[in-house]
Amino acid sequence: MQEQDTYYLNEICTQNALYTQQTGRKKKCLTHTFGCQMNERDSEILFGFLAQMGYEKTDIEAEADLVLFNTCCIREKAESKVLSHLGELKKLKQKNPDMIIGVCGCMMQQKGMADMIRSSAPYVDLIFGTHNLHHFPKYLYDVYQGKGRQIEVLDKEEGVQEGLPSYREYPFKALVNIVYGCNNFCTYCIVPYVRGRERSRKQADIVQEVKQLVADGVVEITLLGQNVNSYGLDLQDGTTFAGLLQELDQIEGLRRIRYMTSHPKDLTEELVKTIAESSKVVDHFHLPVQSGSSRVLDLMNRRYTKEHYLHLIDMIRKYMPDAAISTDIIVGFPGETEEDFLETIDLVQKVKFDSAFTFVYSKRTGTPAARMEDPTSLEEKKERLQRLNDALSDISRDINDKLQDTVVEVLVEGPSKTNEAMLSGRTTTNKTVIFAGEPSLIGQIVSVKITEAQTWILKGALAE
């Protein structure tokens, strides 16, 4: 963390302490996070700043002194949600002119987006992007000082910023960035344009952070990167993702290591063997395939074929026969034919994914795919998506049925979202398990016997 940012943070902290002394209440903040786990991690940093400034969290917008939107632009739907929600805040701002509203994240890095919000939502006080998140205290300080709206979106990343504060929702698990940005330039994807080029953190800094997290009570970490498999390549000092996993595997007290996301073109046999030999890296591979058609994969600039992807699956099964494999699939990429789609169905049937995130292609202005001819109707794309999801559901149910009456190890994460009287947790294969238990079990790894297998979740009871 840079010295000037610490100065502004401390100045706001002093002002907020005086406010609390005068009013008898702390200032409150609310952060809306859209998108992936990288955005979730950014929001943890933003609230880390805010907590050090003396703010406390609230879930009620009407009582918030500051509202932040940490945005995503991977699909049009995410953008629409942000703009709609932002419009709803206009009335609150009119009732409470002192409320500070900020918009940051990936959306702001898109060409013209900051200017659009500047003109359409003049009540927004802060606009900044992904490359200058660490300067948030300065922007907020300048707003407090009456310097008007603060708008700064950098065109280029500023390297890796270490030592930033963080506030985690869960005391027993944590997100850990290992590489920022992306060098792949898939033709449909906006990420390289809004997150910048790949910048790997030094392995020593990552190891030190994880050791501190474990000392604070964390038992599970999730390593984050747009492509964790290419971690270290930009450092040009022999650092690799496999080497990092081997180092983290030695940390006493750490129980589980997860990671997101893995690009097939950089998945090596060395890495698979490392994961297979690890005592802590989970037996779950999330390996986005995007399409089962080699022709479409070429149009996507994914740099592998259907055959190579299937070879990778065989390699995983060779070393880890019981590993879970999940994926991402885009339906209706520009020019996708029925024959191409059937290739995807064929791949799904061959791999037998445990689960998949599936989407209809979303046009992103500024990407090469946005300029491709796209003759397929939305109705046909939705029909294909339904057929794909039906196939995936059948496979997932067959896989889960085999877990009936088995005992699995579950990290208890909290109450079930659908029934607060029950607990919910995840296995090493990323299966969600619902079972009865005391709240004191949250944060612990327990044995659960599966009593009812369903398509997307498992129900069970604590094993005796």
Residue-wise pLDDT tens digits, 200-224: 999 999 999 999 999 999 999 999 9
| Three-state SS at 391 | helix
Q: What's the longest Cα–Cα distance across the chain?
A: 69
Residue at 167 is within a domain = no
Model confidence pLDDT, tens digit, residues 167-178: 888 999 999 999
Question: What pLDDT is recorded for position 346?
Answer: 98
Question: What pLDDT is recorded for position 401?
Answer: 97
Window from 67-81, 95-109, 233-247 with minimum mean pLDDT: 67-81
CATH number of the domain enclosing 387? 3.80.30.20
| Confidence class for position 255, pLDDT limits 50, 70, 90 | very high
Model confidence pLDDT, tens digit, residues 310-346: 999 999 999 999 999 999 999 999 999 999 999 999 9
| Separation between Cα atoms, residue 330 and residue 341, nearest integer Å | 10
Q: Which of 52, 407, 425, 372 is nearest to 186 (CA)?
A: 372
Q: Are residues 236 and 340 in the same domain?
A: yes
Residue at 158 is within a domain = no
Residue 293: C-alpha distances to residues 3, 282, 339, 389, 393 (Å): 51, 29, 8, 17, 21
Share of the chain above pLDDT 70, in %: 100
Question: Which residues are CB-contacts of 189 (< 8 A; sequence separation ≥ 6)?
Answer: 74, 182, 364, 367
Q: Are residues 44 and 141 in the same domain?
A: yes
Domain containing 103 equals 3-152
Question: What pLDDT is recorded for position 342?
Answer: 98
Q: Which helix (H) or strand (E) holds 29?
A: strand 28-33
Average pLDDT, the chain: 93
Q: Are residues 324 and 383 in the same domain?
A: yes
Question: What pLDDT is recorded for position 153?
Answer: 87
Question: What pLDDT is recorded for position 140?
Answer: 95
DSSP label at residue 456: S
Q: 282: which 2 tokens? A: 């989970």
| Three-state SS at 32 | strand
Q: Are residues 311 and 383 in the same domain?
A: yes
Model confidence pLDDT, tens digit, residues 360-405: 999 888 899 999 999 999 999 999 999 999 999 999 999 999 999 9
Q: Which of these three, 100, 121, 152, is where a domain ends?
A: 152
CATH number of the domain enclosing 30? 3.40.50.280
Model confidence pLDDT, tens digit, residues 345-357: 999 999 999 999 9
Q: Are residues 135 and 246 in the same domain?
A: no
**Residue 131 confidence (pLDDT) above 90:** no
Residue at 208 is within a domain = yes
Q: What number is the average pLDDT over the span 74-79? A: 77
| Three-state SS at 170 | coil
Q: Read off the amino acid at residue 449.
A: K
What is the domain count for the chain? 3
Residue at 328 is within a domain = yes
**Residue 1 confidence (pLDDT) above 70:** no
Q: Are residues 80 and 181 in the same domain?
A: no
Share of the chain above pLDDT 90, in %: 77
Q: Which of these three, 401, 418, 437, is where a domain ends?
A: 401
**Residue 16 confidence (pLDDT) above 80:** yes
Residue at 368 is within a domain = yes
170 burial type by CB count under 10 A (0-12 exposed, 13-18 middle, 19+ buried): middle
Q: What number is the average pLDDT over the span 277-301? A: 97
**Residue 75 confidence (pLDDT) above 80:** no
For the chain, report the end-to-end CA distance as a whole number of angstroms: 49
Q: Are residues 322 and 202 in the same domain?
A: yes
Residue at 162 is within a domain = no
DSSP label at residue 161: P
Q: Are residues 316 and 426 in the same domain?
A: no
Q: Are residues 347 and 429 in the same domain?
A: no
Contact 367, 189 (CB under 8 A): yes
Question: What pLDDT is recorded for position 111?
Answer: 83
Q: Are residues 127 and 247 in the same domain?
A: no
DSSP assignments along 247-270, one per residue: HHTT-TT--EEEEE---GGG--HH
Q: Are residues 222 and 370 in the same domain?
A: yes
* Neighbour tally for 184: CB within 10 Å: 17
Q: Are residues 221 and 347 in the same domain?
A: yes
Question: What pLDDT is recorded for position 457?
Answer: 95
Residue at 160 is within a domain = no
Q: What number is the average pLDDT over the span 273-287? A: 97
Residue at 157 is within a domain = no
Contact 99, 66 (CB under 8 A): yes
